[in-house]
């Protein structure tokens, strides 16, 4: 009798303990948001909504606006997605459908290892290897053959928005590719075989069966990669150039939210300066929260039901 009572208590304590720690994760998240909000109040009170639309970032006159870092974050992310989505889908297709069976596991591991390389190593490689290459060979060539497009104007320094976008491309390929491969692999074999049996080519099966079937999962994979690119710090800090001006040219140096934080946070003197940086962090956190939240919702739906 006594024994079973003890067990009952034991179970309750065990359940309560695990629930406390699970709640701890949620509380941590709330504390993070609350703290960022609370500490950025001086900046929010002073600049209000214009913080998001002003392009002035001047510690001397204590005027801060986040437009340039926000634009830089978005432009570098969009550039990365432009390159990474087609490449990743190609890789996913290769891994799920085309590669011989013995090659699939090792090749998949190799692609996933791209995600394991620390971001600071990507940044260093981008600065010392990729950007000289771009400055000496790729950028002059682009300038010559683009016929004076504003996107490719200005001095070819090698660091800037384009380089940041390219390094981010490499970093998010493994995420998008491996999740989309899993999505492709979940397409039921009988659907694919029915299409093959009707005489479809492999590409037609991909286009008309696999992509429509897995579209939510693929959208989730793309948003996962986007969330990664938005918040990436070290790799971008190395190659984006850290300059506060807006330019149409992708060769021009810029700034992202994360690189601004990395460069200026420890040097920020004065309440409003620090609060403005924290508000930048809050903005970044909210954007990635929305993007990653959407990714999770789509990935779950893609996993549970599939199809349309």
Partner 1 sequence: MNIIFRRRVVNSLVLGLSGLAAAFGLFMLTWILGDVAIKGAGAINWQFFTELPAPPGMEGGGLANAIVGTLLMTGTAALIAVPFGVLAGTYLAEFGYNTVLGRIARFISDILVSAPSIVIGVFVYLVMVKPMHNFSGWAGACSLAIIMLPVVSRTTEEMLKLVAPEMREAALALGAPYWKMMTGVIYRAASTGIFTGVILAVARVAGETAPLLFTALNSPYWMHSMNEPMANLTVVLFNYAMSPYDDWHRLAWGAALLITMAVLVLNILTRLLLSRKRRTS
When computed from its CA atoms, the radius of gyration of the chain, rounded to whole angstroms, is 24
Nearer to partner 1, 134 or 292 (CB): 292
Of 68, 75, 173, 187, the residue at the interface with partner 1 (CB under 8 A) is 173
Number of chain positions touching partner 1 (CB under 8 A): 90
Which of the residues 252 through 271 are near partner 1 (CB under 8 A)? 258, 261-262, 265-266
Which of the residues 212 through 241 are near partner 1 (CB under 8 A)? 224, 227-228, 230-234, 237-238
Nearer to partner 1, 19 or 149 (CB): 19
Asked if 282 and 257 touch (Cβ cutoff 8 Å), the reply is no
> Around Cβ 1, how many Cβ atoms within 10 Å?
5
Could you say whether residue 62 binds partner 1 (CB under 8 A)? no
C-alpha torsion 244→247→250→255, nearest 10: 20
Question: CA-CA distance, 236 to 283, in Å (whole number)?
Answer: 18
Nearer to partner 1, 57 or 238 (CB): 238
Question: CA-CA distance, 245 to 64, in Å (whole number)?
Answer: 13
Smallest distance from partner 1 to CB 141, Å: 19
Asked if 34 and 217 touch (Cβ cutoff 8 Å), the reply is no
Each residue 95-134 as x (binds partner 1 by CB under 8 A) or -, in order, gives x--xx-------x-xxxxxx-xxxxxxxxxx-xxx-----
Query: What is the DSSP-derived secondary structure letter of residue 63?
Result: E
User: What is the sign of the dihedral through the CA atoms of 226, 228, 230 and 236?
Assistant: negative
Nearer to partner 1, 139 or 288 (CB): 288
Which of the residues 72 through 101 are near partner 1 (CB under 8 A)? 86-91, 93-95, 98-99
């Amino acid at each position: 009798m006594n024994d079973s009572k003890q067990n009952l208590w034991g179970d309750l304590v065990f359940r309560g303990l695990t629930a406390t720690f699970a709640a701890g994760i949620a509380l941590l998240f709330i504390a993070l948001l609350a703290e960022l909000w609370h500490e950025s109040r001086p900046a929010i009170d002073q600049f209000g909504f214009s913080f998001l639309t002003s392009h002035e970032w001047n510690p001397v006159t204590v005027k801060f606006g986040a437009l340039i870092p926000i634009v830089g974050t978005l432009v570098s992310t969009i550039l990365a997605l432009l390159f990474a989505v087609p490449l990743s889908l190609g890789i996913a297709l290769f891994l799920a459908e085309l590669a011989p069976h013995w090659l699939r596991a090792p090749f998949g591991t190799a692609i996933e290892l791209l995600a394991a390389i620390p971001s600071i190593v990507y940044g260093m490689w981008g600065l010392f290897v990729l950007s000289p290459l771009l400055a000496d060979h790729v950028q002059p060539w682009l300038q010559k053959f683009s016929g004076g497009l504003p996107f490719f104007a200005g001095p070819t320094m090698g660091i800037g928005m384009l380089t940041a976008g390219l390094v981010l491309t490499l970093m998010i390929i493994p995420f998008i590719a491996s999740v989309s491969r899993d999505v492709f692999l979940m397409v039921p074999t009988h659907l694919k075989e029915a299409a093959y049996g009707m005489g479809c080519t492999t590409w037609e099966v991909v286009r008309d069966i696999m992509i429509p079937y897995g579209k939510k999962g693929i959208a989730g994979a793309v948003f996962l990669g986007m969330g990664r690119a938005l918040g990436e710090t070290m790799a971008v800090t190395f190659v984006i150039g850290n300059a506060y001006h807006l330019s149409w040219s992708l060769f021009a140096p810029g700034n992202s939210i994360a690189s601004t934080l990395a460069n200026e946070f420890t040097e920020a003197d004065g309440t409003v300066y620090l609060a403005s940086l924290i508000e930048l962090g809050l903005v970044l956190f909210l954007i990635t929260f929305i993007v990653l939240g959407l990714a999770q919702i789509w990935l779950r739906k893609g996993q549970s039901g599939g199809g349309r």
